[in-house]
Structure 1
Amino acid sequence: MSQASITSAVGRAAAVHRSRVRERWQAARRRLGEIVVQLAEEPEIKTASWHLPASRRSPAVARRLTRLSLERWDMGGLSDTAELLVSELATNAVCHTRGPVRLTLTAQENLLRCEVEDTGHLLPQPGEADDFDESGRGLRILDLMACCWGATHTPAGKVMWFELSGDGDGDRAA
Structure 2
Amino acid sequence: MSVIYSPLGSGPMPASYGREPGGGLGRRHSSMRDRWETLWRRVGDLAIQLVDGADLEEASWRLPARPASCGRARRLIRKQLSAWGMEHVSDEAELLVSELVANVLRHTCCDDLTLRISTVNGLLRCEVEDCNEGIPRMRWPAPDDESGRGLYILDSLACCWGTDRTRSGKIMWFELPSYAGR
Q: TM-score, structure 1 length as denominator?
A: 0.71
Work out which of the residue numbers 128, 151, 156 in structure 2 matches 1:139. Answer: 151
Work out which of the residue numbers 47, 50, 71 in structure 1 matches 2:58. Answer: 47
Describe the SS at the equivalent of 2:67. Answer: coil
Describe the SS at the equivalent of 1:107. Answer: strand
Query: d(CA) in 1 for partners of 2:127 and 2:181?
Result: 17
Describe the SS at the equivalent of 1:103. Answer: strand
Equivalent residue number for residue 69 of structure 2 = 58
The C-alpha deviation readout for 1:104-159, integer Å capped at 9, x for no partner, is: 00011110000000111110010111111111001111111000000010011000
Query: d(CA) in 2 for partners of 1:66 and 1:45?
Result: 16
More relative contact order, 1 or 2 (CA 8 Å, 6+ apart)? 2
Amino acid at match of 1:149: W
Query: d(CA) in 1 for partners of 2:146 and 2:114?
Result: 25
Query: d(CA) in 2 for partners of 1:123 and 1:153?
Result: 8
Describe the SS at the equivalent of 1:68. Answer: helix
Q: Is the 8 A contact 1:94 1:101 kept in 2?
A: no
Amino acid at match of 1:146: A
Q: What displacement does 1:68 show?
A: 0.4
| Unmatched runs of 5 consecutive residues or more in structure 1 | 1-42
Equivalent residue number for residue 34 of structure 2 = none
Query: d(CA) in 2 for partners of 1:98 and 1:73?
Result: 33
Q: What displacement does 1:171 show?
A: 4.5
Query: d(CA) in 1 for partners of 2:63 and 2:81?
Result: 18
Equivalent residue number for residue 73 of structure 1 = 84
Of stretches 63-72 and 127-136 in structure 1, the one that deviates more from structure 2 is 127-136
Equivalent residue number for residue 124 of structure 2 = 112
Q: Which consecutive segments of 4 or more residues in structure 1 shift more than 4 A?
A: none
Q: What displacement does 1:92 show?
A: 0.3
Q: Is the 8 A contact 1:113 1:163 kept in 2?
A: yes
In terms of fraction of residues, the more helix-rich structure is: 1
Query: d(CA) in 2 for partners of 1:163 and 1:65?
Result: 17
Structure with max Cα Rg: 1
| Unmatched runs of 5 consecutive residues or more in structure 2 | 1-53
Amino acid at match of 1:74: G
Counterpart check, 1:128 vs 2:140: yes
Q: Is the 8 A contact 2:91 2:181 kept in 1?
A: no
Query: d(CA) in 2 for partners of 1:45 and 1:56?
Result: 31
Q: 1:150 to 1:171 in 2, by over 3 A?
A: farther
Counterpart check, 1:164 vs 2:176: yes
Amino acid at match of 1:133: D
- Aligned residue pairs, count: 129
